Amino acid sequence: MSTLEQSRHLATEIPGPKSSALIGRKDAAVAHGVGNTMPVYASRAGGGIVEDVDGNRLIDLGSGIAVTTVGNASPRVVEAVSAQAADFTHTCFMVTPYEGYVAVCEHLNRLTPVAGEKRSALFNSGSEAVENAVKIARAYTRKQAVVSFDHAYHGRTNLTMALTAKSMPYKHGFGPFAPEVYRAPLSYPFRDAEFGKELATDGELAARRALTVIEKQVGADNLAAVIIEPIQGEGGFIVPAEGFLPTLLRWCRDNGVVFIADEVQTGFARTGAMFACEHEGIDPDLIVTAKGIADGLPLSAVTGRAEIMDAPHVGGLGGTYGGNPLACAAALATIETIEADGMVERARQIEALMKERLGRMQADDDRIGDVRGRGAMIAVELVKSGTLEPDAELTKKVLGDAHQNGVIALSCGTFGNVLRFLPPLAISDDLLNEGLDVIAGALAKF
């Protein structure tokens, strides 16, 4: 295969004729509940580029939603998966185990910021891993309730829909949801400012607000686990005020409640640390990973303190495909690439570049309410000029224009007014700058 040229190139209108034909076939064949962000069909991807079936080359500021962190079809991953596919594609780890699964667990135990002796278990999707983390916490504590937070996103299965905050599109019409799930207020500095400067900057105060709700509406004696994304993903790349997460963790430790960090989106170098919990200096009891773990092959994991992880009975955890050998080979190659190529540092460089650039844009444009995030997980919250009022319409227009001009970018946030940037760490500075030029150009049009 020839190497993919690292430049933006528009060969046709977006979508071109081949993509348009595929859109027609999709509409006739694929359930309409499955939507697409981009109106183009991919043919190849790598570095900072996705090429479509009409020969358009798009700048990738999405990484397939924070998945292809080391770069799409990353060379070590391609080689490892090809070799594994030639040897065997599946035996089921619960039937005839294989080394790759064990090796991935060893790396997870080595890399995750959980204290003491650790164990891991592998699954297929982020949602499935979150469900298993809750099962493990319930088996360990022999309690049932679970607390998640405002703006949280934990997946689309029944239990994880209950944990997820936003109704449309994730939950609307799909109830009833799993019981014994309760919601607490988050620390959301940009929006908490409305309720006073102290709440926006004092994470301990914001945590006490949440803990009052938890103590009064649930009670520690009933509570198995608190689950939280250290930086919220779909909810709007919300970085809680300093002190929020450590205060929650301390309360969990004091009250026999399992603290679960959902690092599905933030994990594996994405935020300029191997895991986002490291920025807060916290050691969760359980940590859930997926997305960036295996460069796009379906894999997820729960890693945690051995005494908690070993609580379920033998045979209580598992699944036909969990820790599939191809996905494990991909994960081992992904971890090797992150470490050998200095990708944690690369994420920090991307943060510096993006925040400097977006910060300058914000200084000239009072519709940019907030620029936030860490590493290569950076967001811009758009508002009506100089207010806190979310501007979802502007967000949609900016993204539509970016897509027409060959940049893949996504939105997020409860109010649909957050531009989120998740470039692969393999992207060049030139492509990143050009991608931001297109975003700036789009903002200037509306």
Ligand X SMILES: *Cc1c(COP(=O)(O)O)cnc(C)c1O
Using CB under 6 A as the binding criterion, the count of chain residues that bind ligand X stands at 15
Q: Is the CB of 67 or the CB of 241 nearer to ligand X?
A: 67
Q: How far is the CB of 152 from ligand X (least distance, A)?
A: 8
The mark string for 213-242 relative to ligand X (x by CB under 6 A, - otherwise) is ----------------x---xx--------
CB under 6 A: which stretch of 150-158, 215-223, 321-329, 386-394 binds ligand X? Answer: 150-158
Structure tokens at 176: 């009833």
Which residue number has the CB closest to ligand X?
Answer: 126
CA-closest candidate to residue 265, choices 297, 299, 232, 287: 232
Q: How far is CA 283 from CA 175, 211, 275, 352, in A?
A: 34, 19, 11, 26
* Cβ closest to ligand X, residue 126 vs residue 325: 126
Q: CB-wise, 57 or 151, nearer to ligand X? A: 151
Candidates 16, 126, 230, 423; binder of ligand X (CB under 6 A) is: 126
Binding span for ligand X by CB under 6 A among 41-49, 260-268, 311-319, 362-370: 260-268
The answer to whether 203 and 282 are in contact (CB under 8 A) is no
Cα gap 439→410, rounded to integer Å: 11
Quickly tell me which residue has 């359980």 as its tokens.
286
Beta strand extents in 290-376 (DSSP E only): 300-305, 368-374
Q: Identify which of residues 368 and 419 has a Cβ nearer to ligand X in the complex.
A: 419
For position 324 contacting ligand X by CB under 6 A, the verdict is no
Q: Which of 437, 439, 366, 355 is nearest to 397 (CA)?
A: 439
Give the burial class of 255: count Cβ atoms within 10 A of its Cβ; 0-12 exposed, 13-18 middle, 19 or more buried: middle
The tokens describing 396, both together, are 């949609």
**Stretch of residues binding ligand X (CB under 6 A), selected from 123-131, 238-246, 322-330, 367-375:** 123-131
The residue assigned the tokens 């493990």 is 136
Specify which residues 303 forms β-bridges with: 120, 287
Q: Identify which of residues 133 and 210 has a Cβ nearer to ligand X in the complex.
A: 133
Nearest approach in angstroms of CB 388 to ligand X is: 25
Range in contact with ligand X (rule: CB under 6 A) among 35-43, 262-270, 356-364, 438-446: 262-270
Torsion of CA 398, 404, 408, 409, to 10 degrees: 10
- Between residues 394 and 425, which has the closer beta carbon with respect to ligand X? 425
Select from 130, 199, 394, 436 the one that contacts ligand X (CB under 6 A): 130
Q: Out of 262, 285, 381, 391, point to the residue binding ligand X (CB under 6 A).
A: 262
- How many Cβ atoms sit within 10 Å of the Cβ of residue 416? 17
Our CB check for ligand X shows the closer of 53 and 299 to be 299
Selected from 118, 154, 270, 357, the binder of ligand X by CB under 6 A is 154
Q: Which stretch binds ligand X (CB under 6 A): 121-129, 205-213, 304-312, 339-347?
A: 121-129
Mode of pairing for the β-strands spanning 377-382 and 418-421: antiparallel
Q: What share of the chain is helix, strand, coil (3-state, %, to 5)?
A: 40, 15, 40
Residue 442 and residue 125: Cα distance in Å, rounded? 34
- Interface pick for ligand X out of 19, 56, 265, 414 (rule CB under 6 A): 265
- Cα first-last separation, the chain: 41
Can you tell me the distance from the alpha carbon of 74 to that of 352, in angstroms, rounded to the nearest whole number? 24
The residue among 19 and 125 lying less far from ligand X, judged by its C-beta, is 125
Q: How far is the CB of 385 from ligand X (least distance, A)?
A: 31
50 contacts ligand X (rule: CB under 6 A) = no
Residues 284-323 as x/- pattern, contact with ligand X by CB under 6 A: ------xx--------------------------------
One-letter amino acid for residue 397 of the chain: K
Residues shown for the chain? 446
User: Using the rule CB under 6 A, is 153 a contact of ligand X?
Assistant: yes
Q: Give 233 or 406: the residue with its C-beta nearer to ligand X.
A: 233
- Structure tokens belonging to residue 28: 């006739």
Angle of helix 203-217 relative to helix 244-254, nearest 10 degrees? 40
> How near is the Cβ of 325 to ligand X at its closest, in Å?
19
Placement of tokens 């773990």 in the chain: 293
Cis peptide before 424 (omega within 30 of 0): no
Our finding on whether 68 is near ligand X (CB under 6 A) is: no
Q: Given the rule CB under 6 A, which residues bind ligand X?
A: 125-127, 130, 153-155, 229, 233-234, 262, 264-265, 290-291
